[in-house]
Amino acid sequence: MRTQERLIESARALLWERGYVGTSPKAILEHAGAGQGSMYHHFKGKSDLALTAIRRTCAELLGTAEALLCGPGTPYERIEAYLLRERDVLRGCPVGRLTMDPEIIASAELRAPVDETLDRLRERLAGTVEEGKERGQFPPHLDGEEIAATVLATVQGGYVLARASGSPAAFDTGVRGLLSLLRSDTDQVA
């Protein structure tokens, strides 16, 4: 792997693990096994590298979600696939954790890819719900935007509760509860 790639991947890992403040240029260089001038050769500084890493993390998360939400199956099955996909629950969401970092939230530039990713994910989920309504698989009273917000809140809240308890059980319980509510709405249509 080229030095620039190692720096980006190291920044991604450290941002997820430590946040922006806890990720020093020295820590990135050590993690990447790169020389002292490497970061400044490829990037303007820590903020530029962090922005590149955040954009990549956001693109990866969105790509995974869109593959599931646009994949085969009914709208319910696609939402279910998104909710049940394999995750490292105890590490938290690599994008969601960025929203808890005061330095990232304070920077419009660093926050922008996070906001855009969450907005696009919410739009994709809402579209999936609306598709299900059009096909008669979800009842007409469901609001796609509200369900999308509920799905995101369940996932992000589930990460927080799982990390707090040290067990993925809280995440799994929230997901099962949300799916049972969506399933019961689906059953009412049939």
Express each pLDDT in 106-129 by its tens digit: 999 999 999 999 999 999 999 999
pLDDT confidence of residue 15:
96
Mean pLDDT along residues 163-175: 96
User: Which residue type occupies 142?
Assistant: L
Give the tokens for residue 114: 């996070």
Which of 82-91, 114-123, 158-167, 180-189 is predicted with the least confidence, judged by mean pLDDT? Answer: 180-189
Position 185 pLDDT exceeds 80: no
Give the tokens for residue 39: 């970061």
Residue with tokens 């739009």: 123
Give this prediction's pTM: 0.91
User: Which residue type occupies 165?
Assistant: S
pLDDT grade for 188, boundaries at 50, 70 and 90 = low
Distance CA 123, CA 134 (A): 16
Tell which residue, 122, 124, 116, 119, has the closest CA to residue 66. 124
Count of residues in the chain? 190
User: Which residue type occupies 138?
Assistant: F
